[in-house]
Structures are given as structure tokens and as C-alpha cells.
Amino acid sequence: MSGEGVGTARSAIEAVWRIESARLIGGLVRIVHDLALAEDLAQEALLAAMEHWPSTGIPENPSAWLMTTARNRAVDQARRRQMQAGKHQELALRSSEPSSGVPDLAAAIDEDLGDDLLRLILIACHPVLSTEARAALTLRLLGGLTTAEIARAFLASEPTIAQRIARAKRTLAEARVPFEVPRGGELSARLSSVLEVLYLVFNEGYSATKGNRWTRPELCEEALRLGRILAERFPREAEVHGLLALMELQASRLRARVGPSGEPVLLLDQDRSRWDQLLVHRGLAALARAEALCQPLGPYTLQAAIAGAHSRARTAAETDWPRIVALYDALSQLTGSPVVELNRAVAVSFAFGAAAGLELVDALADEPALASYHLLPSVRGDLLLRLGRRGEARVELERAASLAQNAWEKALLLGRARASLGATSPGRTGESGGDAAAAPSSTPGLASEPPRR
């Protein structure tokens, strides 16, 4: 086989791995009740594939091949353990069926009860783990990402991520986390932990908190893929559809969110013709499902409804701000989050004028949770600018820039701080709702971007 052929085989094997690894590990976990061991067995099967497939070609049914290989190793190991145990227990070894447990094991691995994947998601997102650990483990076990890829995604070093994953597995083992899929109320509680992780991964891609890139779409895609899988498994869970709707709608704007040189373009400045209509439709459909399933709406569904209100407006000026304010009211009551309150202030400023918005923002000034949150001074600066109070606006925007961690965001804020003094008179003081939405310079930092809780 030519060198190119080997390379092709390798990438084909990687593709098979991506498709099969989660189900494979999930199936193995069900049997061996040990996450680390299950992953090792799956990895061994992958290595075997890397060894054999380039010369034999990819088998007709690669998933069965991988499963059989991993299963054989599991059986071998079980047998070896039995033998070792047997050395101490002569009797057991000499009994009529020395390996009675082994055939059962083989049969058990073959029957996928349909929730192997689900089992794996629930374990990876177990509440005993920190959210960072859950996110890393989820990307590794369900996304089939390598440690290096996860490290790149979170802008962390490879050893850090490797350690985080190893520690997470140890924590799960020490906590003796059961591998059964919980039912009823406990399942719902565990699901919300999964949703939290998916949204964290999505957000890390959507609005990179650190580094030089404003978005990392590959992370969004992975979160979306897992969200779609979850929505298939739980057609009756409103918030699963709510989160999926939120992610689809936000992802529909990814293309429009990045300018020609990689700089961020905020919601109200975006060229809406560049929104991905396929994702908009999928998002609105998921939102409709979520809204039909549950009243009152849960936090993800409310955020999706806000995103949907923006998606439905053909131009920024057509945005239904009063509706968005009402949705933020509900969300604020539900979460009590100051970040949501800040977003609500922005919506209020567009619906009822900058002064009304500023009043709400000023009420948040002493909120400890927002003390180093760059969007607080960013929003305040924009509102001051819209009210013609340029000197104060500049101070706030500069403060916002000093707090921002993403390089692009920093630059954007500094640009606006400079512009605040040089700009021609905004002429929008006391404007009524909607006017300012069309004006790029006054777009608040987070104009109804989803709150990050």
C-alpha cells in the first residue's frame, strides 16, 4: 500500500473511532463497571485496528470488529483475574465451570440496551466532578477528542488536561459512582448537570473567554451534536429542547459574528443575510417543541425565546424589544442572576430609552458578582454615550477594556472608548426604543447576547 494509502486508512480509522468510540466505551463501562478500564479496553481495540486495518482494509462492519476486539480483551482480563484469584482458592479453580462468569460477560457486552451512550454522558457529567472536569471528560469520552485537541480547545496545556481527566476518573472511582442510568426525578437532576456542561462547551466556542480568537466553532459544533443526540433521547424534556434551540439559534449567527479580519461583530451590527437559515429553522423548531412541553418556561427555553426574538427580526430595528424585556423579566425572576439583570437593562434601554436602562445598570454597581465583569462598565459606557455623557462613557469603556480577557474584545472596547470622544454627536439622547439598534457605535457589549450564568 502506498504511503498515501496508509494515511487514508489512518484518517478512515479515526473517522470510525469518532463514530464508534462513545458507544464502545459506554458498552464496556456497563460490563466492567470501571471507566478507566473501559477506556483502556476501547483504546486497545483502536490500536489493534490501527495495526490491522491498513493492510486488511477496513472491515465491513467496523463497529462490530472494535466491539469484538475490546470484548475479547475484557474477557481475557476477567479470566486472568479469575486465575489469580484462583491461585488463592484452589477449590474455585477446580470447580466444574472454572470460568463460569466469562460467557455471561461476553453476552452482556453484545446487548446494547440503547442507553450505553446515555450512560456515558451521565457519568462524564456527574455532579461529583467540577464543571471543567466534566467538560474535559465529555469531550474526551463523547467527542472522541484527543487530550491535545481538548487542551487546544480550552487553551490549556496538554499535561493540565491529561491530569484533569485522570483526576476526574479517579474521583468517579473513589466516589463509587453507580453506572446505572437513573430514573425519574434523579434522571432529571442529572440531565441538568449534562445541559450545564454542554452549554459551557458551547459558550467556550461561541465567545472564547480567553485568547486571540473570538470564536472556536468546532467546540460549538461538538456541543450541538451532543445536544441533538440528547434531544433524540429525551423528546419529552422541555429544557433539553430549550438548550438545543438556544445553541442552534446562536450558532446560526457564528458566520456573521466574525468580521473579515477575525474581529467580533456584535448582534445588532450583524449582516443578517449571513445568518445560517438552516440552523435558524432548526432552532425555532426546537424552541416550539420546548414551549409546547412545559409552562412556565425553564431558563434555557427562556434564553432560546430571547434568541428567537432576534432571529425573527429581519433587521435590528425591527427587534421586538418589549417582548425581549418581558422574557428577561421572567428569566431574572427565575435565576436571580445579576448577569441576567444586566442583559435586562440593555433590553430595557432599547425598549424604553437609555435613561431607563442606565437606572437599572446603576442599581447593579455594587453587585459583588459583577465586580470584575467587563460587560458591566461596557454596557454602562454605551448607555452614557447614548445619553451624550461622553467623558464618563470613555472612562467606563476603558475600564471595560482593562477587565476584558479576550484580545479581540479588549481591542473592540478600546476602539469604542477612543471613538466616544471623537464621534460626531450621537444625537440619540432620549431616543425611543429601537432607533439605537441600527447604530453600530452604540451597540452595547452584550445587547441581549445570552447571559452566561
Partner 1 sequence: MRVMVFVPGDENSEAGKMPSQELIAKMMKFNEELVKAGVMLAGDGLTPTSKARRVRFSGSHRAVIDGPFAESKEIVAGYWIWQVQSIDEAVEWLKRAPFDGGIEVTIRPVFEPQDFGRELTPELRQKEARLRVEVERRSKP
Report, in Å, the least distance between residue 191 CB and partner 1.
16
Residue 268 one-letter amino acid: L
Task: Give, as ranges, the residues between 132 and 151 that touch partner 1 (CB under 8 A).
Answer: none
Report whether 396 contacts 351 (CB < 8 A). Answer: no
Task: Give, as ranges, the residues between 159 and 188 that touch partner 1 (CB under 8 A).
Answer: none
In whole angstroms, give the CA distance from residue 407 to residue 146: 27
Residue 14, interface with partner 1 (CB under 8 A)?
yes
Residue 259, interface with partner 1 (CB under 8 A)?
yes
Report, in Å, the least distance between residue 2 CB and partner 1.
17
3-state secondary structure of 258: strand
- Residue in this structure with the C-alpha cell 461561541, named with its chain if needed: 206
List CB contacts of 319: < 8 A, sequence separation 6 or more: 268, 309, 310, 313, 350, 434, 437
Q: Which is nearer to partner 1, 116 or 449 (CB)?
A: 116
In whole angstroms, give the CA distance from residue 384 to residue 390: 7
- Tell me the C-alpha to C-alpha distance, in Å, between residue 18 and each of 25, 78, 421: 12, 27, 53
- The count of C-alpha atoms lying within 13 angstroms of the C-alpha of 107, restricted to the half-sphere facing its C-beta, is 5
Q: Which is nearer to partner 1, 11 or 295 (CB)?
A: 11
Q: Which is nearer to partner 1, 218 or 320 (CB)?
A: 218
A 10 A CB-CB count for 277 gives 11
In whole angstroms, give the CA distance from residue 77 to residue 83: 10
- Residue in this structure with the C-alpha cell 479496553, named with its chain if needed: 41
Residue 227, interface with partner 1 (CB under 8 A)?
yes
Task: Give, as ranges, the residues between 389 and 428 that touch partner 1 (CB under 8 A).
Answer: 415, 418-419, 421-423
- Site string (229-248) toward partner 1, x via CB under 8 A: x--xx---------------
In whole angstroms, give the CA distance from residue 253 to residue 266: 10
E strand or H helix that includes residue 74: helix 62-88
Could you give the maximum distance between any two Cα atoms of the chain, in Å? 94
**Which of 342, 347, 382, 343 lies closest to 362, judged by CA?**
342
Q: Which of 126, 241, 282, 399 binds partner 1 (CB under 8 A)?
A: 282
Residue 441, interface with partner 1 (CB under 8 A)?
yes
In whole angstroms, give the CA distance from residue 327 to residue 304: 10
Q: Which is nearer to partner 1, 162 or 439 (CB)?
A: 439
The conformation of residue 262, written as its DSSP 8-state character, comes to: S
Report, in Å, the least distance between residue 323 CB and partner 1.
28
Report, in Å, the least distance between residue 90 CB and partner 1.
49
Residue 113, interface with partner 1 (CB under 8 A)?
no
**Which of 251, 230, 245 lies closest to 292, judged by CA?**
245
Give the binding range for partner 1 (CB under 8 A) out of 12-20, 301-309, 353-361, 388-396. 12-20
Which contacts (CB < 8 Å, 24+ apart) does range 363-366 have?
Answer: 364/338
Q: Which is nearer to partner 1, 356 or 439 (CB)?
A: 439
- The interaxial angle of helices 131-141 and 184-206, nearest 10 deg, is 90
In whole angstroms, give the CA distance from residue 91 to residue 397: 79
- Site string (207-226) toward partner 1, x via CB under 8 A: -----------x--x--xxx
Task: Give, as ranges, the residues between 25 and 84 that touch partner 1 (CB under 8 A).
Answer: 62
Number of residues in contact with partner 1, rule: CB under 8 A?
Answer: 32
Q: Which is nearer to partner 1, 53 or 373 (CB)?
A: 53
Q: Which of 19, 128, 189, 365 binds partner 1 (CB under 8 A)?
A: 19
Cell of 224: 450541538
Report, in Å, the least distance between residue 255 CB and partner 1.
5
Q: Which is nearer to partner 1, 172 or 191 (CB)?
A: 191
Residue 16, interface with partner 1 (CB under 8 A)?
yes
Q: Which is nearer to partner 1, 208 or 339 (CB)?
A: 208
Q: Which is nearer to partner 1, 21 or 332 (CB)?
A: 21
In whole angstroms, give the CA distance from residue 411 to residue 416: 9
Report, in Å, the least distance between residue 65 CB and partner 1.
13
Report, in Å, the least distance between residue 225 CB and partner 1.
4
Q: Which is nearer to partner 1, 26 or 451 (CB)?
A: 26
Q: Which is nearer to partner 1, 275 or 328 (CB)?
A: 275
Q: Catalog residues that contact partner 1 under the rule CB under 8 A.
A: 11-12, 14-16, 18-19, 62, 218, 221, 224-229, 232-233, 255, 258-261, 278, 282, 415, 418-419, 421-423, 441
